[in-house]
A = this chain, B = another copy of it.
């Protein structure tokens, strides 16, 4: 049994269905408790997700206590939803020890069980950095912007394995709100920037080519691996394809190496809505 966390607003329901369809298909021996923190989902939305997961997964909608956001800064374009994954230790049931957070713009293509079983060795979370791919561009900027003196990698917040017990001890909502308030003018990707700014030193780095493969960067992975990470390698090893960036594979105009694969999973997810 694996605990999965997803957070979303209603616009991301279709990609979430695709992500969950791919998760079930590619971890065939597993069962899942899928914790959902979402705003504006209807009873029918929840029912359709439950139907998609059955019989190998259960949906666990999570109520967010109103009081949790007392003291949260309100800024234009920011919603409460941006804090959900950072506050998951406060929001998820107290008995939960470990959870794997997954963005909805993800396709799972191989088992995530090895990531889920990773020994966090005292760290709060495990995450991957995409800096190797963007070397010389993102890193210095982010270091400066986030005053991250220790120059840790800049972790992508789309895949986060969380030790909830450690987070309950160390993550304080007030710290997060304070950080957001103080840095409001320079936060580009608020949740990710806060994650790195506050907890970058307490994150275990994992291999992004396995656990958070940036689907825009096939050529770069191929190049930096001297040709080893070709399409056969990716399909045989990569567990999590992450469709980072503005262009999304569910858009009609999307073109990319993984376009056919993603759109095929869209079709598989749709079929769940209208079985034969």
Contacts and interface: CB of A to CB of B under 8 A. Distances in A.
B264 A235 contact: yes
A267 B231 contact: no
Of the four ranges (under 10, 10 to 19, 20 to 34, 35 or more), the interface on chain A belongs to: 20 to 34
Interface in A1-47: 25, 28-30
B275 A252 contact: no
B261 A29 contact: no
Contacts of A261: 260-261, 264
Contacts of A220: none
Contacts of A110: 267
A142 to B, nearest CB: 30
A234 B252 contact: no
Best-surrounded residue of A25, A110, A260, A267 (most CB of chain B within 10 A): A260
Interface of A: 25, 28-30, 109-111, 230-232, 234-236, 252, 254-255, 257-261, 263-264, 266-268, 271, 275-276
